[in-house]
Amino acid sequence: MAIMLILVLVIVVVLGVTDIRRSLISKPVFAVFKKILPPLSDTEREAMEAGDVWWDGELFKGKPDWQKLHAIPKAELSADEQAFMSNQVETLLAMLDDYKIVQEDRDLPKAVWDYIKSEGFFAMIIPKAYGGREFSAIANSTIVSRIATRSLTAAVTVMVPNSLGPGELLMHYGTQAQKDFWLPSLAKGTDVPCFALTGPEAGSDAGGIPDTGIICKGEFEGKEVLGIKLNWDKRYITLAPVATVLGLAFKLYDPQKLLGDKQDLGITCALIPTSHQGVEIGDRHFPMNMAFMNGTTYGKDVFIPIDWIIGGPDYAGRGWRMLVECLSAGRGISLPALATATGHLATRMTSAYGYVRQQFGMSIGKFEGVQEGMARIGGLTYTLEAMRVMTAGAIDLKLSPSVVTAIAKYHMTEMSRTLLNDAFDIHAGKAIQCGPMNYLAHGYMGVPISITVEGANILTRNLMIFGQGATRCHPYVLAELAAAANPDAEEGLKQFDKLLINHVGFAIGNTFAALWQGITAGAFNSAPVAGETVRYYKQLSRMSRALALSADISMLMLGGDLKRKEMLSARLGDVLSQLYIASAVLKFYEDNGRQQADLPFVHYSVQRALFEIGKAFDGFLVNFPNRVVARVIRTLVFPFGIGYKMPADDIAIAICTALAKPGVIRDRLTHLCYIGQAEDDATGLMEAAFSAMHKAQPLMKKIYQAQREGKLARKLPLLDSIAQALQLAVISEAEAAQLTEMNRLRFKSISVDSFKPGVLSAMAIKNQDAA
């Protein structure tokens, strides 16, 4: 007892007396910490510090406050935004013929270009004071999603000026003179913007941009002025072939020190009229057969005034910070909108096709093999819509949640790839024959574009989500990094000492809490709701604690090596991602009034997320370099094994049953899907056939009953059965006409396009001549 009392006293003195603690504990740990820090380049540091921590911070703490999640305002359209959706957007959709745009003209018709410009589709993010529409992020997202279900080319054309580019950068960083000059013309569409960042050897590694600007004096409008001599060679720039104003990112140097003492100023952004002497645009790329404008720009020894830097000379060298702070628009709005549109279209059309297409005497949607894929389509679409709304809602809170938007970009584009593969599998031959009747092909071609832009998905998953998330979202690591980087060593030690005690307490608390939650399987965790979703809140809290513990141990054991262990760290990023995905689904369910019909979709989405969390943890623990530590973590977190499983078959069947008939849940889940009104529109035709077959079911039952009773012959073609049933008065003339029309729609909807000899050759010649 005496020895224990002495030991406790020693611990109290060592930890409680600042000077002793700092000398015996903090100082040695601080020295080790500085050695194991992952080296950060300037661009990495700026990216790390940019943006906001939001719900991702709660998930990383190990004890998320679910009341905070529910308190986040529901993202909704204003009256003006809804009116724009009902009028301008619907008018635009009626003007689009996506097959003709992509396969024949390789461009939007002039009337469409004019309508987009004149009606403010390029001005959704521009303030009303400058002639813009000043729409919310959720409106921007919803409009792009709706258009994308009709035409990916039109959607990309609309989304780019409202994403990362001149408009966004001007509003955040532009001088008043730059705003007054450019924003009104951008809002009217008299100027078309593009932004050039990537090049042949500079994509993900923005710090490797080879394009340069040299500060010097030169002639502009007949006068000698201070300016920049530019050389650039850019690729993959959307709208570049038709742009009138070029946003350009380059490395800026000041060898003569005309701006100050620094010679290497860093990445800088400038706005340049494409009519300016030396600016070259016009060449087009042809991304995955899509017709949106994408191409090159280059210039050699192009002189521009120094005032063309976005923000003026004071923002020289601050371009990378500007860019990473504004990436939320592309990652959090535009690309998630495209991914969600894929889900809405695939769910609506595949559920209809599964009912209309018959094989072996029954709808193929009744086969369980098809239902497995259809459930995945429906479940992922529910997830996509939940993530779209929550992520855009964060941006409407005037936040720039860099980790959350990276999660959305990566996982939503991957989900769209998965569900489109399922849609193709179910549609089979109908999906692979390109033509006006194919509503899936262009979306399928466009998926790889979303996968690669705004940070390729491999980069986003392996470097950004956890690499940035572990630093930004952790309660203490970013502050500890700042203390270690403090040029005043003594002051840095003081800062670190205060943080260390809190961090140690945080880690110890997570260790015991993880063990308790592992033993009890999270049964005693609290939940903010009652009903069938209670267990999900409890399990997500449990996995949040497990993530906090695993991240701390990983950073402690691996230090700077964790940055290079991309496969390992990416799995922890997957855990954080799936926690966010499940959170979005649960919030979406609550915000929409806890609809009973939604429950199969909620169960599917959250159970899938938990399964993915378990799979990620298992991969992390199997591959953790220190096997003893891996065993300790597994024992603490999963003492009885990882019990998460993919959704059961009855959940999949419930989803398919809900989607196989007209109804509120099907309409709500696919409310953004364009349905054409003309009979020759592929989506309208499929929906018409689906509706007609449902309405005809009572009449078909009459025929089936007559066949069972022996009144009608079996296994006749349907039209012969209808004729025989009419002749024998089993059905009336009106009913026979209804069934005949239903059969016509059914057969036409499942048919595919074919082309007369010479038609495709003529199209190829036309396109060659146009090129």
Cα–Cα nearest to 236, from 297, 192, 320: 297
DSSP letter at 525?
-
Cα–Cα nearest to 328, from 407, 409, 247, 405: 405
Cα–Cα nearest to 646, from 609, 682, 680, 698: 609
DSSP letter at 393?
H
454 is catalytic: yes
The b-or-e profile of 189-209 (16+ CB within 10 A means b, else e) is bebbbbbbbbbeebbeebbeb
Instruction: Give dist(CA 156, CA 248) in Å, integer.
Output: 20
DSSP 106-139: SS--HHHHHHHHHTTGGGTTS-GGGT-----HHH
H helices of 672-732, in order, are 682-695, 697-708, 718-727
Q: Can you give 504-518 as a three-state secondary structure string? A: HHHHHHHHHHHHHHH
CA 47 to each of CA 41, 402, 455, 469: distance values in angstroms, whole numbers, following the listed order? 10, 9, 13, 11
Instruction: Give dist(CA 724, CA 418) in Å, integer.
Output: 45
Residue appearing with tokens 């679910």? 66
H helices of 525-565, in order, are 534-558, 561-564
The one catalytic residue in 454, 480, 687, 735 is: 454
- Tell me which H or E stretch contains 325: helix 319-325
- Determine the length of the chain: 771
Using an 8 Å Cβ cutoff, are 394 and 57 in contact?
no
Q: Long-range pairs for 647-650 at CB < 8 Å and ≥24 separation?
A: 647/375, 647/379, 647/603, 647/604, 647/607, 647/608, 649/368
Q: Given the DSSP bridges, would you call strands 294-305 and 223-238 parallel, antiparallel or unpaired?
A: antiparallel
Q: Which residues contact 106 (CB under 8 A, 6 or more apart)?
A: 291, 767, 770
Instruction: Give dist(CA 374, CA 364) in Å, integer.
Output: 11
Instruction: Give dist(CA 206, CA 50) in Å, integer.
Output: 15
Query: What sign for the dihedral angle of Cα 691, 693, 696, 697?
Result: negative
Is 254 exposed, middle or buried, given 0-12, 13-18 or 19+ CB atoms closer than 10 A? buried
Q: Which residues pair with 216 in a beta bridge?
A: 227
CB neighbourhood size of 508 (10 A): 10
Using an 8 Å Cβ cutoff, are 344 and 670 in contact?
yes
CA 375 to each of CA 355, 378, 408: distance values in angstroms, whole numbers, following the listed order? 14, 5, 21
- Tell me which H or E stretch contains 353: helix 335-356
Residue appearing with tokens 């262009």? 442
The amino acid at 402: S
Any idea which residues carry the catalytic annotation? 454
